[in-house]
Structures are given as structure tokens and as C-alpha cells.
């Protein structure tokens, strides 16, 4: 099993490390041709405007929509969550438009309001340490989307079939259980494909 991390901008190395800890082979992805070699992809945290712009420029929008149409899993963290959403509050244009949800950018405030906290996530036994940095949140979810965690009544983790998204940065701690959860999703999709 090989999982890619979209490496146009953002915290790429941390995701590679977490995926490796979860037992997957992990590679950086900078060109659309590389999507053929991988079974799942992480869209990392970074600046969503930068990542979205570069994705458009290098043909990643259509390529990742096709990747998803094949049932291959995608996992977006923070900026990656914004990239996956169908609707971005206050913006006309979404990026990949894959997950049936509305996200709100910088929803918790500026950097001085950024925080870390213990968070319960459905499907993971003990709470995980979640680091929120100028984080977005999920305002509402539509049909087919399952809410996996909530912080102060706001949705911060969600799954829609083979798509997973969270507002925080699981890659910034040594706890790789959410990556394990994603690796399991990829394993499942491979088993189904066979």
C-alpha cells in the first residue's frame, strides 16, 4: 500500500512520518502523473488559498476528482479539509467540491486564538490531542456525511465514504491513530477493488 501526500505547500514531512508510523509507505506528490502510483492521498495543512491556486495551476482539481471517482480515499487536514469541501462560506468558488459540507475558514479566530485540546473522535478509543491552528470548522453537513467529532458544538471531523476530513493537525503530535484510521480506509478500499 502506497499513500501520497500532496506536496505543493504545507506540512508535508509530518504527514509522511505519521503515515509511516501507521505502517504505510508514504511518498510526496508534486505532479498529477504520480497519482497513478498511489492508493490514497493526504491533503495537508498549509494555506488553503495557496494550495488551491497551485492545484488549479497544475491540473490537480480534475485529476483528484477522477482519483476520488475511482473510490480511492482522500484525507484532508485543516487547509485540506477546506480543499475537500463542496461549499466554503463567503466564497463563490470551492476547490475539489467532493464532500457534501459547508466549511468556514479561520473560524476560531486569528493565530492568538489557536489552541490544543483533548478531543473524542468516533472510532478511536481514547481522546486524541488535537492542535487547531487558525483552523476552519464544518458549519453543516449534507446527506452521506458522518460526523466523527465535535468541539463546543462545532463539527471538526467528518467522513463521507472514502473521504475523511478534520479541522485540526493530527500530524503535529506523535499520536498517529487518526492516520491509522485513514490507512485502514485505504486498505479497505484496496480489498474492495480486488
Q: Closest separation between CB of residue 78 and another protein, Å?
A: 7
C-alpha cell read off for 6: 500532496
Residue 116 touching another protein (CB under 8 A): yes
- Using the rule CB under 8 A, which residue among 1, 34, 47, 147 binds another protein? 47
CA–CA gap between residue 26 and residue 86 (Å, rounded)? 27
Residue 93 makes contact with another protein by CB under 8 A: no
Report yes or no: 39 and 3 within 8 Å, Cβ to Cβ: yes
Under the criterion CB under 8 A, does residue 50 sit at the interface with another protein? yes
Is residue 137 a contact point for another protein (CB under 8 A)?
no
How many CB atoms are located within 10 Å of the residue 40 CB? Answer: 24
Tell me the per-residue interface mask from 138 to 167 with another protein, x by CB under 8 A, - otherwise: ------------------------------
**C-alpha distances out from residue 84 to 28, 46, 139, Å:** 19, 14, 14
Smallest separation, CB 132 to another protein (Å): 8
Cα angle: 12, vertex 58, 169; to 5 degrees? 25
Q: By three-state DSSP, how is residue 62 classified?
A: helix
- The footprint of another protein (CB under 8 A) covers 7-14, 30, 45-47, 49-50, 53-54, 57, 78-79, 105-106, 110-117, 131-134, 169, 172-173
Amino acid at each position: 500500500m502506497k499513500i501520497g501526500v500532496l506536496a505543493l505547500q504545507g506540512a508535508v514531512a509530518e504527514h509522511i512520518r505519521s503515515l509511516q508510523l501507521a505502517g504505510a509507505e508514504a511518498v510526496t506528490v508534486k505532479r498529477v502523473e504520480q497519482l497513478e502510483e498511489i492508493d490514497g492521498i493526504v491533503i495537508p495543512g498549509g494555506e488553503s488559498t495557496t494550495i488551491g491556486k497551485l492545484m488549479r495551476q497544475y491540473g490537480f482539481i480534475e485529476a483528484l476528482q477522477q482519483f476520488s471517482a475511482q473510490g480511492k480515499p482522500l484525507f484532508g487536514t485543516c487547509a485540506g479539509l477546506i480543499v475537500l469541501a463542496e461549499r466554503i462560506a463567503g466564497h463563490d468558488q470551492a476547490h475539489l467540491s467532493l464532500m457534501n459540507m459547508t466549511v468556514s475558514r479561520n473560524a476560531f479566530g486569528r493565530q492568538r486564538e489557536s489552541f490544543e485540546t483533548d478531543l473524542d473522535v468516533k472510532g478511536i478509543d481514547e481522546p486524541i490531542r488535537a492542535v487547531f491552528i487558525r483552523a476552519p470548522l464544518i458549519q453543516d453537513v449534507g446527506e452521506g456525511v458522518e460526523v466523527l467529532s465535535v468541539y463546543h458544538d462545532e463539527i471538526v471531523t467528518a467522513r463521507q465514504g472514502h473521504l475523511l476530513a478534520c479541522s485540526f493537525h493530527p500530524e503535529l503530535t506523535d499520536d498517529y491513530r487518526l492516520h491509522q484510521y485513514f490507512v485502514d480506509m485505504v486498505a479497505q478500499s484496496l480489498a474492495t477493488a480486488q
